[in-house]
């Protein structure tokens, strides 16, 4: 009995070490992808931003950050999903390579567009909280890099741990965030009527 117990204990220790090593390598890969996303975001910020810019709106830091998150997040999600084996994700795609490619592309786009919505909404909230605030090119580049790096890390981790249940949750969150983003970006009809009334000439 003691020999069997010792063998089971040794097997458990080996399994624990293997799992710990695998988790460490996975986390290191997510951090590496996040760092690469931050570098790409910094490059996008340097090239796209010109002088002082607001936090949200057309030509703003938030718009540049959201588009950078869309591109980098989609690419990182596709890279993460393409490296997953069929054993870890048996439901992803099928035996044909083009079906797997379509599944990876669709899921990567969902992650990227969700990052786009959340980044735009976050910078919109910041703009409402700090009205009239505008940042120079260096500060704006920093925030674009920070948003892109954080989004790439989160998207990579979320794509790597994707399951059938989490996929259903992801789709529900995607629809909810899409509706909220559409509501935030829609124009206020009352404000438009007031603006038209102010521009209308007053009869003498």
CB count within 10 Å of CB 113 equals 18
CA distance 140 to 32: 23
Q: Which residue has the higher pLDDT, 122 or 20?
A: 122
CB 189 within 8 A of CB 110: no
Residues 20-47 have a mean pLDDT of 86
pTM: 0.76
Apex CA 51: angle with CA 44 and CA 122, to 5°? Answer: 60
CA distance 103 to 109: 10
SS (H, E, C) 121-179: HHHHHHHHHCCCCEECHHHHHHHHHHHHHHHHHHHHHHHHCCCHHHHHHHHHHHHHHHH
Q: Which residue has the higher pLDDT, 33 or 86?
A: 33
- Mean of all residue pLDDT scores within the chain: 80
CA distance 182 to 122: 14
Residue 1 confidence (pLDDT): 47
- Using DSSP's 3-state secondary structure scheme, residue 92 falls into coil
Residue 30 Cα distances to 17, 36, 55, angstroms: 20, 10, 28
DSSP state of 57: S
Residue 200 confidence (pLDDT): 59
């Amino acid at each position: 009995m003691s020999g069997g117990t010792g063998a089971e204990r040794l097997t458990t220790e080996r399994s624990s070490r293997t799992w710990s090593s695998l988790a460490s390598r996975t986390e290191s890969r997510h951090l590496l992808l996040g760092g690469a996303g931050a570098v790409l975001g910094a490059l996008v910020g340097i090239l796209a931003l010109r002088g002082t810019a607001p936090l949200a709106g057309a030509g703003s830091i938030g718009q540049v950050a959201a588009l950078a998150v869309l591109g980098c997040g989609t690419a990182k999600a596709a890279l993460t999903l393409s490296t997953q084996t069929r054993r870890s994700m048996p439901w992803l795609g099928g035996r044909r390579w083009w079906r797997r490619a379509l599944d990876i592309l669709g899921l990567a786009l969902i992650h990227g567009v969700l990052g786009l919505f959340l980044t735009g909404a976050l910078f919109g909230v910041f703009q409402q909280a700090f009205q009239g605030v505008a940042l120079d090119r260096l500060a704006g580049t920093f925030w674009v890099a920070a948003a892109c790096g954080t989004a790439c890390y989160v998207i990579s981790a979320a794509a790597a741990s994707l399951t059938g249940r989490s996929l259903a949750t992801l789709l529900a969150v995607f629809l909810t965030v899409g509706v909220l983003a559409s509501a935030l970006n829609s124009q206020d009809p009352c404000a438009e009527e007031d603006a038209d009334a102010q521009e209308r000439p007053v009869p003498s």
